[in-house]
Amino acid sequence: MAAKVASSPYARGGAPAARSRPPGPPGLPILGNLLGLARDPLAFYTDCAERYGDIVGMRLGGWPALLLNDPDDIESVLVKQHRSYVRNSFFWRHVTAVFGNGLLTSEGALWQRQRRLAAPAFTGPRLTRYGETMVAHTGAMLDTWKAGEIRDVHADMMVLTLRIAAESLFGAVVEEDVETIKRDGDAITREIAARFTRLFVIPDIVPLPGHLRYRRGIRRLEAIVARILRQRRADPEVHSDLLSNLMQARDETGQPMPDRQLRDEVLTMLLAGQETTALALTWSWYLIGQHPEVDARLGAEVEAVLGGRAPTIDDLPRLRYTGQVITEAMRLFPPAWALGREATVDCEIGGYPVPKGTTLFICPWILHRSARFFDEPAAFRPERWEGSLAKDLPRFAYLPFGGGPRICIGNRFALMEASLVLATVAQRFSLTWQASRPVIPLPSITLRPDGGVWVKLAARAGTPAGANRREARFQA
Ligand code: HEM
């Protein structure tokens, strides 16, 4: 571990002493280190961590920034001193048109209130109901799969998790919108990825082709959200889901949530909840599809625990290896590959002064692949999680869902969904990755496989191809 140099904080109003600046890559005038970041963010951050250690100082144009690689420092930012930081605008300025003031991007009293309102939708008996929805939609998807086919499992997982999120959280059927959401979600993500690598901010209003696609995409997603809200308002049935929590909420003066805020919350949950879980599953299939021994053990566990019946949430404690596969896949390919914060007051981290306005990067991609915490860090070995590894690790060496008060609100929902989907698919099919179609991780807000993940399907041994295990609710 690189030693941290204790140093005196900035003198009030004065320039920092030279020794108080953390080491970091030399940058260009005006641009600072933006060029390195623009070329290849994953390689740039990894190289910085290897060369400069626990705290790396950099400049992103005019923005002072630090990359934090020490779990204790990360804990200090996300938990102990969380009041001194907000989600940083360097990262999120790219996405405000999409997420507005939803839970992911809001701060302060508004965030606190909205988080309190949303929380009950992610706990208790509701999870059992979501479990049934998850398994049913997976079964319906599998009815369209055939042994011998080659498929892009990323596209499949995106559609599946969208159907699940829409029905579980908003009671909405989005069949007719699946293609639109897929296409527009893709256009929006690509534009955001391009913006991360751009040296300057170009306002949305400038009519670049990517901007036009981005704005059109947002408008179409907004139309879908507006329809979901309209349908709910016209529906006399009493619902108990996330949407009803949000729509029934009243402020101190008895007023309901304004439509704009509802739009922001629904779009945030739909996108944040769908894409990340789809990626956790997609990267799992990508890795399983290259490791027949993992595939065999997964198939054996599913057979032993379920014996051919559909899984339920009560089976999850016994689907241990299934869970370990997901934990390990999110270690190697964390869907949220980087988190950003911004200091709202002058602070200190690891002995270094952190002036107000500094951007902090925390990069699960680097931590999860560090030999400091994981033996053979590049190897896909789900069984590494069998023993006490999770307990022995420093708390913030593995953080696929972040941590502290702003930890992912959907983490239990996502883990449950990933295990149930993985088990339901593995009951019927074995997937082999097609190496002729290489995969390139594309770091946008999330870590996507550029070009998809193409796999060949084989019927699981002992399972007749196309065996019908449909859930009752989808049967004709
Ligand atoms: C494997 C799947 C998922 C991963 C890896 C993931 C990851 C994350 C991470 C790392 C954060 C914290 C970001 C930060 O601190 O800056 C976060 C926040 C959030 N996630 Fe997830 N997430 C997943 C699934 C979900 C699901 C299923 C939902 C909702 C249905 C969801 C909704 C949210 C929301 C609303 C926030 C903001 C919470 C707040 O600030 O209070 N996520 N997620």
Task: State the DSSP string of 315-369.
Answer: GGGG-HHHHHHHHHHHHHS-SS--EEEEESS-EEETTEEE-TT-EEEE-HHHHHT
Q: Is 104 in the pocket of ligand 1 (CB under 6 A)?
A: yes
pLDDT of residue 195: 78
**Half-sphere exposure in the Cβ direction for 285 (13 Å, CA):** 32
Token pair 């999860």 is at which residue? 368
Question: Residue 432 phi/psi, 5° resolution?
Answer: -115, 130
From 177, 199, 380, select the one nearest 285 (Cα to Cα). Answer: 380
Nearest residue by C-alpha to atom 27 in ligand 1:
273
Q: What is the C-alpha separation between 224 and 168, in angstroms, rounded?
A: 16
Q: Which atom of ligand 1 is nearest to the CA of 335?
A: 5
Q: Compute, in angstroms, the gap from residue 104 CA to the centroid of ligand 1.
A: 8
Q: Compute, in angstroms, the gap from residue 156 CA to the centroid of ligand 1.
A: 21
pLDDT of residue 199: 65
pLDDT of residue 197: 67
Q: Which atom of ligand 1 is nearest to the CA of 401?
A: 10
* Residue ranges for the chain with pLDDT beneath 70: 1-19, 88-93, 197, 199, 462-476
Show the tokens assigned to 87.
Answer: 């989600």
Nearest residue by C-alpha to atom 9 in ligand 1:
401
Q: Which atom of ligand 1 is nearest to the CA of 399?
A: 10
Taking residue 6's Cβ as centre, other Cβ atoms within 10 Å add up to: 10
pLDDT of residue 129: 86
Q: Is 102 in the pocket of ligand 1 (CB under 6 A)?
A: no
In this structure, are residues 299 and 325 in contact, taking their beta carbons and an 8 Å threshold? Answer: no
Q: What is the pLDDT of residues 51-92, one digit of tens each?
A: 999 999 999 887 899 999 999 999 999 999 999 999 866 666
Those residues whose C-beta lies under 8 Å from the C-beta of residue 314, and which sit 6 or more positions away, are none
Q: Is 227 in the pocket of ligand 1 (CB under 6 A)?
A: no
Residue 458 CB burial class (10 angstroms; 0-12, 13-18, ≥19):
middle
pLDDT of residue 319: 98
Helix (H) or strand (E) holding 368: helix 364-368
ipTM surpassing 0.95, yes or no?
A: yes
In this structure, are residues 329 and 287 in contact, taking their beta carbons and an 8 Å threshold? Answer: yes
Coil, strand or helix: which one is 152? Answer: strand
Which residue ranges form the domains of the chain, and what is each CATH number? 17-99+338-379 (3.30.43.20), 121-336+400-476 (1.10.630.10)
Q: What is the C-alpha separation between 99 and 268, in angstroms, rounded?
A: 5
DSSP code at position 348? E
Q: What is the C-alpha separation between 438 and 284, in angstroms, rounded?
A: 16
- 408 annotated as ligand-binding: yes
pLDDT of residue 463: 58
pLDDT of residue 476: 26
